[in-house]
Homo-oligomer: A and B are copies of this chain.
Amino acid sequence: MNELKIFLDRLSPLSTASWEKFSNLFTVKTLTKGEFYIREGQMAKEIGFLNSGILRAFYQSEDGIEYNKHFFIPHCFIGGYASLTSKKTNVINQQALTDCELLVANYADIEKLYPSFPDIERISRLLAEQFFIQKEQREIEIVLMDSEQRYKIFQKDFPSLEQHIPQYHIASYLGITPTQLGRIRRKIAKR
Stretch of A13-21, A26-34, A43-51, A123-131 that contacts chain B: A123-131
Q: For the complex formed by this chain, how many copies does it contain in all?
A: 2
Task: Please state if A136 and B135 are interface contacts (CB–CB under 8 Å).
Answer: yes
Please tell me which one of the listed residues B86, B128, B142 contacts residue A142 in the complex, with CB atoms under 8 A apart: B142
Please tell me which one of the listed residues B82, B128, B145 contacts residue A125 in the complex, with CB atoms under 8 A apart: B128
Cα(A180)–Cα(B136), bound, Å: 26
**A8 interface residue (CB < 8 Å to B):** no
Residues of chain B lying within 8 A (CB to CB) of residue A178: none
Cα(A144)–Cα(B62), bound, Å: 9
Please tell me which one of the listed residues B114, B132, B143, B145 contacts residue A131 in the complex, with CB atoms under 8 A apart: B132
Cα(A44)–Cα(B67), bound, Å: 33
Task: Please state if B82 and A144 are interface contacts (CB–CB under 8 Å).
Answer: no
Task: Please state if A67 and B143 are interface contacts (CB–CB under 8 Å).
Answer: yes
Please tell me which one of the listed residues B59, B86, B114, B121 contacts residue A143 in the complex, with CB atoms under 8 A apart: B59
Task: Please state if B142 and A82 are interface contacts (CB–CB under 8 Å).
Answer: no
Cα(A87)–Cα(B121), bound, Å: 20
Cα(A104)–Cα(B124), bound, Å: 25
Please tell me which one of the listed residues B67, B85, B125, B144 contacts residue A144 in the complex, with CB atoms under 8 A apart: B67
Residues of chain B lying within 8 A (CB to CB) of residue A139: 69, 135, 138-139, 142
**A74 interface residue (CB < 8 Å to B):** no
* A-B CB contact pairs (8 Å), 15 listed: A82-B132, A82-B136, A85-B129, A85-B133, A86-B133, A92-B136, A121-B122, A124-B125, A125-B125, A128-B131, A131-B132, A132-B135, A135-B136, A135-B139, A139-B139
Known: A121-B122, A135-B135. 18 other contacts (CB 8 A): A59-B140, A61-B144, A67-B143, A67-B144, A69-B139, A69-B143, A82-B136, A85-B133, A86-B129, A86-B133, A92-B136, A125-B128, A128-B129, A128-B132, A131-B132, A135-B136, A138-B139, A139-B139
